[in-house]
A = this chain, B = another copy of it.
Amino acid sequence: MIHTLTEKIKKLEAPIVVGLDPTMKFVPEHIKQKAFAEYGETLKGAAEAVLAFNKGIVDAVCDLVPAVKPQIAMYEQFGVEGLIAFQKTVAYCKEKGLVVIGDIKRGDIGSTSDAYAVGHLGQVQVGTTMCRGFDEDFATLNPYMGSDSVRPFIEVCKKEKKGLFILVKTSNPSSGEFQDRLVLPVGGKDAKEARPLYEIVGEKVAQWADDFMGDEYSYVGAVVGATYPEMGKTLRRIMPKSYILVPGYGAQGGKGKDLKHFFNEDGLGAIVNSSRGIIAAYQQEAYAKYGEENYADAARAAVIDMKEDIRTGIF
């Protein structure tokens, strides 16, 4: 799957992933009204609106980008009905030839992490039958619990040829509270040798990545926010074989020129996410001319502009 992702990025010249994070305020009125007319102002009504919205976006951008990243929280907020919409979104995107990164940020101990891994990336045994749950191509993980929590995902990914992006340095303002804290080397007594926690986590990701290599890049990637370009530069060096999934572009403040150092010299090794900058483009001044009805055309225009911004930023 990492090979598929790399080939798609090369072919489309677009190291871009569209974040499918639909909150109700992004969904145009005509879509909501149609869903509510059929299902009422219910969780099912909301889920149907979200699914219809997503299909419009996906149809409009699927020939331009290699991948999408549905953020499961935005579906989970609508309970079971929302998760049905998540599952249908994953399936629809795969039908359209897109690589699907499930932004699930899971992580737990041993057998519990294994349950998440089989549910999202693998197959679960029921009696003598193997069944698939959500079936994304990649998943994001939270590493706070250590190797125990990551290994079961790697084992499932090895069977399925799927991949991971592990949180290293997140894009949010308070990510530094723990991630930037200076950590002594194991057994070290010299404060001058202390380095930020995100580097320690990055080194661990590099080890996990070495353990599960594709041809050029590893199946084990990392998440590093666009909002911290200097840290991106350091982490690029620490994790040379890992794809970096870069959130925080656009609405969170990251720009194309900030992204140069997230990429390797081969022009690969990173994929930049934009969510509301694309899916809610019609609500921005620059794309307002499309109008709410044509939200998908606005999204397509925003993808084309983002592609150009990143191309000029990194080359």
Chain A interfacial positions (CB closer than 8 Å to B): 21, 23-24, 32, 36, 40-43, 45-46, 71, 73-74, 76-80, 82-84, 87, 105-113, 115-116, 118-120, 124-129, 131-134, 142-149, 167, 170-179, 181-184, 186, 188-191, 194, 197, 200-201, 204
Contact = CB atoms under 8 A, between A and B. Distances in A.
A142 B144 CA distance: 8
Contact of A126 (B45, B107, B118, B133): B45
Nearest to A111: B23
14 contacts: A21-B112, A41-B126, A73-B116, A78-B126, A82-B133, A105-B142, A145-B175, A146-B176, A178-B201, A181-B184, A181-B200, A183-B183, A183-B197, A188-B191
Nearest to A132: B79
A221 to B, nearest CB: 17
A80 B84 contact: yes
A110 B71 CA distance: 13
Contact of A115 (B74, B106, B118, B204): B74
Given A126-B45, A191-B184, A76 B119 contact: yes
A13 to B, nearest CB: 29
Contacts of A146: 172, 174-179
Contact of A143 (B115, B118, B149, B178): B178
Contacts of A173: 148
Contacts of A111: 23
A116 B148 contact: no
B73 A133 contact: no
Given A41-B128, A73-B112, A109-B172, 14 more contacts: A23-B115, A45-B127, A46-B124, A77-B119, A78-B126, A83-B83, A105-B107, A105-B108, A145-B167, A145-B179, A182-B183, A183-B183, A184-B194, A189-B191
Contacts of A149: 172, 174
